[in-house]
Each structure stands twice: as structure tokens, then as C-alpha cells.
Structure 1
Amino acid sequence: MIKEFCAENYTNIPQAIKAGAGRIELCDNLAVGGTTPSIGVIEEVLAFTSEKHVPVMTMIRPRSGNFVYNDIELKIMENDLIHAKNAGTDGVVFGCLTPENEVDEEALEMLLGNSEGLLTTFHMAFDELSKEEQFKTIDWFAKLGIDRILTHGGPLNTSIEDNLPHLKELIDYAAGRIIILPGGGINADNAERIAETLGINEVHGTKVVKF
């Protein structure tokens, strides 16, 4: 099973990999859900993880708050993504919505256009979509070639345990066309059980390994 460790900057990455993290989601400002780390942090993390053969997914998010971005913010995201790609990141993590809480198609196409050759994860902005829209979005993302959707299966203030039925629905519906990556409330103690319950082999979290 791949345990994706959600890391704030470089600090805990060596311990996390030693404890069994098989992939890193690299962020800054986890207290607000994660924003783009600096290019200096990205470069140092990649220098370390490349020796350990552990892939890194870099967060592309210009600020805290909602996932509705204006043209300047999207330009920032585009530049950050290009810098992360040039630094050698294995993948990128992003999400963008319209004021109506639907996926911002134009913004997504721009980000994907700059992500060629990288792994891509659409992050928990997915959880802002209506349940009906979530199933349609899985179909669309699978066609676009997005690799993963990171989801809590419900609002972040709900328990991951309460969301397991909906997560299972999403996973069954995706049927291997795109990876549904559960996160938020998964830790080293419950990761194996949740993965077994959902029939998956990837989990995500800040406490998904113990060190």
C-alpha cells in the first residue's frame, strides 16, 4: 500500500520516508489546507527524495480560502506549476472551481496543459461539488487523463469513518479509470483497515505514518 504523506515543507520528510511514506504531497501552510511551497523548498525536497526513489506531488495553490481564482491568481498558479515542473517534481496537485461550485473548466485546461509529463491530482476542492456533480466529474477527469482525485468523501468537519460509504461509492464508480485517494482523518492506526474496507491501495494524510 502507498502511504502518501502530506508534508509541510522539508522538516519531517526524512522521518516520514524512514517510517514508510511511499509518496510525498509537498505543501506549505497546512493550517489552512496547504499552499504552494517555495521553489527553494521544492528543490531541496526533490534532491533528498530522488535519492530515496520516493515521488513528490507539489501543491499548486496560491492562497488559503476558497478555490475560486481570478486571472492574476491563475497566472501565479501557472508560473508556480512551471517552476515546480522545471525543478523536477513528479506531479502536481491542484483544484479550481467556479463561484457556482463547479469545476472551472478553463482554469483546469490551462493547468493540465502545463502538466504534460507529470502526475496530476485534483485535490479536496472536489468535496465542494454536489454528489451528483462528483460522479459526472469522475467521468470527465478520467477522459482528461487526470491520475487521482483526493477526497475526504464529505465536508472536512465530518469523520472519515462516516464518509466511508460515499467513498466506496466513488471508488466503485471510478472502477479503476481514475484513482480515488481518501484523505483527512486517515492515520497510521486506521490506514490499513480503511484501505481494506474500501478496497484500495493508496491513502493520504499528515499522520499516515508514525514517527
Structure 2
Amino acid sequence: MESHVIKEFCAENLTNIPAAIKAGAKRIELCDNLAVGGTTPSYGVLKKTIELAHQADVTVMTMIRPRGGNFAYCKAEIEMMANDIQMCLQLGSDGVVLGCLKKDWIDEDATSYLINKSAGMAITFHMAFDELSIENQFRAIDWLAANKVSRILTHGGSPECSIEENFPHLKDLIEYAANRIIILPGAGITYHNVENVLDVLQVDEAHGTKIVKLSS
């Protein structure tokens, strides 16, 4: 199983990416401003990260989020996100990470528009998913799978709970997804517990800022 495992390293700039790749990260989620949960990185950071990662046969997923705060976006913000997706296409990002909500549901119009703008790139629906009610999370799996989203990044419950405490709900999500879409566990996963997470959940992918051990 190990050869198929993808440890996705979440980075807010280029600084630790070479060390993360050396330590075994096979995919980079690139963003800025992790203090607010991640926003879209700059052109220069994205360009250099893609060059470096692709030389090492590592893929790059780019965060598309114009600001911190909630996930309800106005028309101007959605256009900004569309423009940033065009930047990703131009620079060769392997995919984008996004999430738009309207009350307790996916903003279907905005999300469909951004999916269309992504022109075949892989798409991860990020932890905006965790803002949905439990009932709507299962409905969201159906909608996102039907709309060609590749994976859903989720902690599986309250951020105040450990990833281990959220195992039961994560298992339910994974079972319901039934290989139609990847459920990507994240938040609270480090190089200390990642193998246990992969084993218990029977998944091949995990996400985190400390998913691999960086050499000091």
C-alpha cells in the first residue's frame, strides 16, 4: 500500500517545500495565510513551486480563496477566483482547491462556474465542507461527485476534536462516497499519526502541514 500513498503537504510558501518533497510528500497544497485557513498564493510563489515540484514528479494543488472568513462570496470575489484559476492553468498547476457556500449548502452557481473555469484540472472541495450540517454533507458528496470534483478535504467533525475522535464520521463519509469521490482526511494529521490514520480509515491519501518530518 505504501507505494500508492499520497501524503499531501500543506504549505504557505516555498520555504519548506524542498524539505517536504525530500521527506516524502507526493503532493503539495499551496496557499498563503495559513493563519486564516489559507488564501490564494502569489503568481511568483506558485510559478516557482510548480517548477520545483514537477522536477521531482510531485503534483501541486493551488488554493483558490480570495480572503479569510466565511465561504459566501460576492460576484466580484467569484470573478477574482476565476481569474486566479486562469493563473493556475497558465502556470501548469495540477489542480485547484476551492469551496463556496450559501447558507447551509454549496453555492451551486458559483461552484459550477469555477469548475467550468478549471478546464479539466483536478478539483478539491476544501474544508468549507465541514461547515455543512451532517445531513447536507452526504448530499454534498452526491453533488460534488456528479460535478466532477476529485476529492473532499475534511476533518470529519469539529476542529476542536482530534482526527481520531472523528474517525467514526470519516468512515461513514468514506463508505457513502463509495469511490465516487476521494475523501481526504486532514487537520491534526502529522508524521506521528499518519500511518494510523491511513490504516484505520483504509485510505491512500492524507493531508497536513506536518504530514512529513522535515529535517532540522
Q: TM-score range by the shorter chain?
A: over 0.9
**1:43-87: per-residue Cα shift (whole Å, max 9, x none)?**
000111111010000000000011011111111111011111111
How far off its partner does 1:164 sit?
0.6
RMSD (Å), alpha carbons: 0.7
- Once residues 209 and 141 of structure 2 are traced to their aligned partners in structure 1, the CA distance between those partners, rounded to angstroms, is 25
Aligned to 1:63: 67
Alignment partner of 1:26 out of 21, 25, 30: 30
Structure 1 residue ranges without an equivalent (≥5): none
| Corresponding residue for residue 162 of structure 1 | 165
**Does the 8 A contact of 2:7 with 2:26 survive in 1?**
yes
- Higher deviation after alignment, 152-161 or 11-20: 152-161
> Of 19, 43, 48, which aligns to 1:44?
48
Total equivalences in the alignment? 210
Which residue of the other structure, out of 101, 109, 115, is the alignment partner of 1:97? Answer: 101
CA distance in 1, matches of 2:89, 2:64: 11
What are the ranges of 5 or more consecutive residues in structure 2 without an aligned counterpart? none
CA contact (8 A) 2:11 2:30 kept: yes
- Specify the code of the residue in structure 2 equivalent to 1:66: N
Q: Secondary structure at the match of 2:124?
A: strand
SS of 2:8 mapped into structure 1: strand
Question: Does 1:10 find its partner at 2:14?
Answer: yes
Q: Does residue 80 of structure 1 match 2:84? A: yes
1:142 paired residue number: 145
Q: Shift of residue 15 of structure 1? A: 0.2
- 8 Å Cα contact 2:104/2:136 also seen in 1: no
Q: What one-letter code is carried by the residue in structure 2 that aligns with 1:85?
A: L
Among all aligned residue pairs of Structure 1 and Structure 2, give the percentage whose two residues are the same amino acid. Answer: 59
Please give the TM-score of this superposition, normalised by the length of structure 2.
0.96
Structure 1 residue 155: deviation in Å?
A: 2.1
Q: Which residue of structure 1 aligns with residue 213 of structure 2?
A: 210
Q: Give the residue type in structure 1 aligned to 2:37.
A: G
User: Hey, which bits of structure 1, 4+ residues long, moved more than 4 A?
Assistant: none
SS of 1:160's equivalent?
Answer: coil
User: For the residues of structure 2 that align with 1:70 and 1:23, how far apart are their CA atoms?
Assistant: 31
Looking at structure 2, the residues matched to 101 and 2 of structure 1 have their Cα atoms a distance apart, in angstroms, of: 31
For 2:181, the equivalent position in structure 1 comes to 178
Q: Secondary structure at the match of 1:15?
A: helix
TM-score norm. by structure 1 comes to 0.98
Deviation at 1:143, TM superposition (A): 1.1
Q: CA deviation at 1:156?
A: 1.7
In the alignment, the residues of structure 2 paired with residue 112 and residue 56 of structure 1 have an alpha-carbon distance, to the nearest angstrom, of 17
- Asked if 1:109 is matched to 2:102, the reply is no
CA separation in 1, counterparts of 2:105 and 2:112? 14
* TM alignment of 1:119-138, pairs within 5 A: 119-138=122-141
State the AA in 2 paired with 1:149: I
Is the 2:8–2:208 Cα contact (8 Å) retained in structure 1? yes
In the TM superposition, what whole-angstrom CA distance separates every residue of 1:105-137 from its partner, at most 9, and x where no partner exists? 010011000112201000000000111101111
Query: How far 1:9 moved relative to its partner?
Result: 1.1
